[in-house]
Structure 1
Amino acid sequence: MDELSDLTACDGVLFDLDGVLTPTAEVHMHAWEAMFTELFTAWGIEPAYSEQDYFQYLDGKKRYDGVASLLRSRDVEVPWGDPGDPVTADTVCGIGNRKNVVFERVLRAEGIAPYPGSLALVQKLQDAGIPIAVVSSSKNAREVLTAAGIIDRFPVIMDGVVAEQESLASKPAPDVFARAAEMLGVDPARSAAVEDAHSGVQSAVAAGYGLVIGVDRGAGAATLLEMGAHVVVDDLAALV
């Protein structure tokens, strides 16, 4: 525990959102499953969608990149389209927009709350004056943070909207974690990144973070370590 005992010695701590700060990863998983199961059935695509598809092709990536990645795994290519495409469009963007409708409906109906252990760690870091940020591939990040009542805790939010505006590559590329460190004004080599996704861990490692903490919410501790996480915990309460 020595290397984790004092995150307050870091220049900054940058958190993924879904599955790290809030349990919205479960909402994303269910929304993807519902949408792709229906799509694969309608199009006669095999093999059927599975939970492993989420962790391998979707988790941590920008929405449209995830759609393209999963379809490619089934040797299916469709036009990219435009972010403004209607949910009926058989394009990467249209398919991604279908999933987002389901996600937003569930979020509004059920709400969301941060993981208690994650909130306790955020509070500890804030009390110590350590800069913190959110690094999420989701375009819904601000909506989720607002619904969870924690948006005011994060002065820097690197999300899917910013990534698109600045043409930053999706995780596992280092772009979003590297840019977030710039926005926060910290040196990645002296900072910590906290991720639950394979692609997110790879992104933080590629961006040169001195400490990459994996949170195992289902991705598998062994795989997170294989992707480059220095340590893996089941819950951030372990770091408080």
Structure 2
Amino acid sequence: MAQQDGTADHANAPDRETGISGFRWNDFDAVLFDLDGVITPTAEIHEHAWGELFADFDYTEADYLAYIDGKPRYDGVRSFLASRGITLPDGDPTDPPGTGTVAALGNRKNTLFNDILVRDGIAPYPGSAATLDLLERLGVDSAIVSSSRNAVPVLRAAGLHDRFEVVVDGIVAGDAGLAGKPAPDGYLLGARLLGVEPNRTVVVEDAVSGVAAGAAGGFAVTIGVDRGAGHQTLLDHGATFVVDDLDQLLPST
């Protein structure tokens, strides 16, 4: 675990650990990563599944970014339906996959997602994998904070499950009664479980709701990774700065 006294001994850190613009991962005690779109390109699988789910509603990629990206599944269903002027009863999480309730639609989307994940598999973004390797060498703790209830299966499929002792996913958040992003609750829990303070911790997000959560939680830095939301949009919603890929923050060779 990182030091808990609010200080860190970086005086002797070599310059090769410095990324672009002087940003240094080892100036912080921990890094909290979103999963989909940050560590793995699961956003593509999620979007495909959402597209199949809402195929009869003129669904587009813009809908995913505007109404769904980064939110808990049932919230995403509600948000998209509201954009079409549709209201359904919430139902119950035990509802079988279907179309009659928010829960049934969300459960149907989950079935579609897992079918695609099993069929096609997943690999981490190379820049993200290299960043995780760097953090391990530096001794900087890391955790996953994801709205997805599929975070553990995705990490297993990507060969990354053993890399994270702390995974705050949709299941953990639901059991704890935490509000979803853009509320900072999940990230604050992740920091607590790692034993670090938010003001010594970095959040890495690709979603508008996620960077807003990082900003709301008082974290030291909220890095936006632009996978389609747009640099200015992420900055406007709370990102400290934005990169196109985490490889931009790797030390130069």
User: Does residue 37 of the first structure (1) align with residue 47 of the second (2)?
Assistant: no
Query: How many Å separate the matches in 1 of 2:130 and 2:225?
Result: 15
Which 5+ residue runs of structure 1 have no aligned equivalent? 41-47
| Pick aligned residue for 1:175 from 185, 193, 197 | 185
Uncovered stretches (5+) of structure 2, i.e. residues with no partner: 1-19
Secondary structure at the aligned position of 1:212 is classed as: strand
Q: Residue in 2 aligned with 1:231?
A: 241
2:81 matches 1:27? no
Which amino acid in structure 2 is aligned with residue 84 of structure 1? T
> Cα deviations across residues 51-107 of structure 1 (Å, max 9, x unaligned)?
111111110010001101111122211110111101125100000111111110110
The CA deviation at 1:2 is: 3.4
Name the aligned partner's letter for residue 54 of structure 2. Answer: F
Give the alignment's TM-score, normalised by structure 2. Answer: 0.89
The 2-side partners of 1:233 and 1:210 are apart by 17
- Equivalent of residue 173 in structure 2, options 163, 167, 180: 163
Q: Please tell me the residue identity of whatever aligns with 1:209.
A: F
Instruction: Tell me which residue corresponds to 2:214.
Output: 204
The one of 27, 30, 33 equivalent to 1:12 is 30
Is 1:213 the counterpart of 2:223? The answer is yes
Give the 4+ runs in structure 1 shifted more than 4 A.
none
How do 1:89-128 and structure 2 match up within 5 A? 89-128=99-138
- RMSD over aligned Cα atoms: 1.0
Structure 1 position 2 matched with structure 2 position 18:
no
CA positional deviation for 1:11: 1.2
Instruction: Give, in whole Å, the separation in 2 of the partners of 1:89 and 1:226.
Output: 35
Distance in 2, matches of 1:216 and 1:147, equals: 24
Higher mean C-alpha displacement, 12-21 vs 177-186: 177-186
Q: Does 1:191 align with 2:189?
A: no
Read off the aligned partner of 1:210 and give its amino acid letter.
Answer: A
Q: Give the C-alpha shift of residue 174 in structure 1.
A: 1.1
Partners of 2:59 and 2:123 lie apart in 1 by: 28
The TM-score, its normalising length taken from structure 1, stands at: 0.94
CA apart distance, 1:3: 4.7
Match of residue 87 from structure 2: 77
Q: How many residues align?
A: 231
Cα deviations by residue, 1:154-178 (Å, 9 ceiling, x for unpaired): 1100000001000100100111111
2:59 to 49, 52, 72: 49
The whole-number CA distance in structure 2 between the counterparts of 1:10 and 1:37 is 44
Post-superposition CA distance 1:89-139 (Å, at most 9, x none): 510000011111111011000101111110100110011111100010000
Output the CA distance in 1 between the equivalents of 2:133 and 2:198.
21
Matched residues in 1 for 2:22 and 2:67: separation? 31
1:134-145 → structure 2 map (5 Å cutoff): 134-145=144-155
Aligned to 1:44: none
Q: Equivalents in 1 of 2:106, 2:126: separation in Å?
A: 31
SS at match of 1:70: helix
Q: Distance in 1 between matches of 2:22 and 2:167?
A: 26
